[in-house]
Amino acid sequence: MARLYIIFLSALLALAACAAPPPPLQLGSDGKPLPKLYRIRSGETAEIQFRMLDAVNSLRQAAGQSPLILDASLNAAAATHSRDMSLQNRPWHFGSDGSSPIERVQRVGYTGHLVGETISETYETELETLSAWMEEPGSRRVILAPDAKKMGFSWLQEDNGKIWWTMVLGG
């Protein structure tokens, strides 16, 4: 019995030694590890939107603010702006037609008032992006705004992996 155990263990160790080693860590020109590409798959929209909503609401709760709810109109405004930023190849708050965030939320039929918009051009996940937004005073102010009641969140990911994130908050 002990002999069978030793043979089995030896075979297992031999198989483990045959396993391919992990790929070498790739370093950028600054000597730091290159980030792993975050690829969003089709069908993950609701999961990502609710993960962001949960994270934002946790931050708001810690700051003593009321929770937000997702709003389909604000999601549409965010999606439109993410797509437009990609086409313009620049992260900014004005549309290629000169539209402001206020005009974009009105165009999608949102009847409340715009609290603010946060945007990002990155290769990072939604939660890494939220963390970066929270370190920027203007974006942090929007995310924690006391009069915010609803949230829209969307993105466009290019073939190269770059993601254009947009969050719109309304009251």
Measured N-to-C along each axis, helices 45-62 and 126-135 cross at an angle, to the nearest 10 degrees, of 30
As a whole number of angstroms, the longest Cα–Cα distance in the chain is 79
| 7 belongs to a structural domain | no
19 falls within a domain:
no
Query: Residue 41: what pLDDT?
Result: 81
pTM: 0.78
Note whether residue 60 is domain-resident: no
The residue behind tokens 């609290």 is 115
Q: Does any domain span residue 141?
A: yes
Contact 68, 167 (CB under 8 A): no
Q: Which of 26, 64, 40 is nearest to 124 (CA)?
A: 40
Confidence at residue 134, expressed as pLDDT on a 0 to 100 scale: 98
pLDDT at residue 27 in the model: 73
- Extract the tokens encoding 128: 């890494």
- Would you say 84 and 142 are in contact if contact means Cβ atoms under 8 Å apart? no
pLDDT at position 32: 76
pLDDT of residue 24: 63
Residue 122 lies in a domain: yes
Which parts of the chain have pLDDT scores under 50? 5, 9, 11-13, 15
Q: With respect to residue 47, please indicate whether it lies within any of the assigned structural domains.
A: no
**Can you give the residue range of the structural domain that contains 156?**
69-170
Residue (of 170, 120, 108) closest to 145 by Cα position: 170
Q: Is residue 121 part of a domain?
A: yes
50, 70 Cβ separation under 8 angstroms: yes
Q: Torsions phi, psi of 168, nearest 5? A: -120, 130
Residue 21 lies in a domain: no
pLDDT at site 12: 44
Q: What is the pLDDT of residue 35?
A: 63
Q: Are 72 and 111 in contact (CB under 8 A)?
A: no
Residue 29's pLDDT is: 77
Domain count within the chain: 1
What CATH number does residue 76 fall under? 3.40.33.10
